[in-house]
A = this chain, B = another copy of it.
Amino acid sequence: MTSEYVHGYTAQEATRLVDQASTLTELLHCDTAYPAGSLVLEAGCGVGAQTVTLAARSPQATFVSVDVSPASLRRAQAQVEEAGLRNVTFQEADIFSLPFSETRFDHAFVCFVLEHLARPEKALAEVRRVVKPGGTLTVIEGDHGSAYFHPDSEFARRAIQCLVNLQRHAGGDALIGRRLYPLLVQAGVREVRVSPRIVYVDASRPALVDGFIRKTFTAMVEGVGNQAISQGLIEAESWRKGIRDLYRTAEADGTFCYTFFKAIGLK
């Protein structure tokens, strides 16, 4: 399944993902804390962008963070060590075939993983398998179709659409946030509650102007420029205008909206 990823595997990307985690930590994690003594699976920890937050917010819980990429696991481990956290162990594993017995974990957490997978419902079913009955599954995903902004720009919308198309070509779904509810229900998760987490940015929120519009969202779109142009998804000049117009939304009269979706349900 490793070939299905379109981002996350360069050093610059790793930095961006960590920056993103800092900016959005409160929005995404504010209602996640696990009880003392619980054993929690983080499935698809990547470079550890969420792992440090997860582990720090639940210091009395123990986390097993797995990923299919040894390189990502090494980065994640380094981050956790740097943060002085001792409640995480890392393990190489494929989310479609987890090396754990049924009901091994009290809870599971999956963040920014399903968007990359061709069969997210299968991954969810496998994560559910290793959770005890009554345990929670928490899933967080973005949705690039939720991005809109002022000034509006057709070029910017086309640039974002390139990212969506590239992710689709790679087998993923950049619009998966809106699908979390049916996906979890399909995977057998009960009592699913989905809550959207909207990032709204205007000039009165300068940290988000820089941290989200520039360094998270536009940086992410910018990161696929060469791929999008070389694959003929867009002409170089239109791409340049699209990126310019995304940065334009970070000026004093600009605004930007993006929505993450967080789903919580029970096995």
Contacts and interface: CB of A to CB of B under 8 A. Distances in A.
Interface of A: 143, 145-146, 148-150, 152, 175, 178-179, 181-182, 185-186, 192-196, 198, 200, 202-204, 252-255, 257, 259
Contacts of A255: 178-179, 181-182, 194
Nearest to A261: B200
Contacts of A198: 196, 198, 259
B192 A178 contact: no
A145 B157 CA distance: 12
Contacts of A152: 145, 175, 178
Contacts of A143: 148
30 contacts: A145-B152, A146-B148, A146-B257, A148-B175, A148-B178, A150-B175, A150-B178, A150-B179, A150-B182, A152-B178, A178-B255, A178-B257, A181-B202, A181-B253, A181-B255, A182-B202, A182-B254, A182-B255, A185-B203, A186-B253, A192-B204, A193-B204, A194-B202, A194-B204, A196-B198, A196-B200, A198-B198, A198-B259, A257-B259, A259-B259
Contacts of A257: 146, 178, 196, 259
A140 to B, nearest CB: 14
Contacts of A202: 181-182, 194
A199 to B, nearest CB: 9
Q: Is the interface of A mostly helix, strand, loop or mixed?
A: mixed
Which residue, A182, A193, A195, has most C-beta atoms of chain B within 10 A?
A182
Contacts of A254: 182
Nearest to A202: B181
A47 B148 CA distance: 31
A114 B178 CA distance: 29
Contacts of A146: 148, 257
The 8 nearest A-B residue pairs measured at CB: A182-B253, A181-B202, A150-B178, A196-B200, A196-B198, A145-B148, A178-B255, A150-B179
Contacts of A204: 181, 192-194
Nearest to A195: B200
A141 to B, nearest CB: 12
Contacts of A150: 175, 178-179, 182
A143 B200 CA distance: 13
Contacts of A200: 194-196
Given A148-B175, A181-B204, 12 more contacts: A145-B148, A146-B257, A150-B175, A152-B178, A179-B255, A181-B203, A182-B253, A182-B254, A185-B253, A192-B204, A193-B204, A194-B200
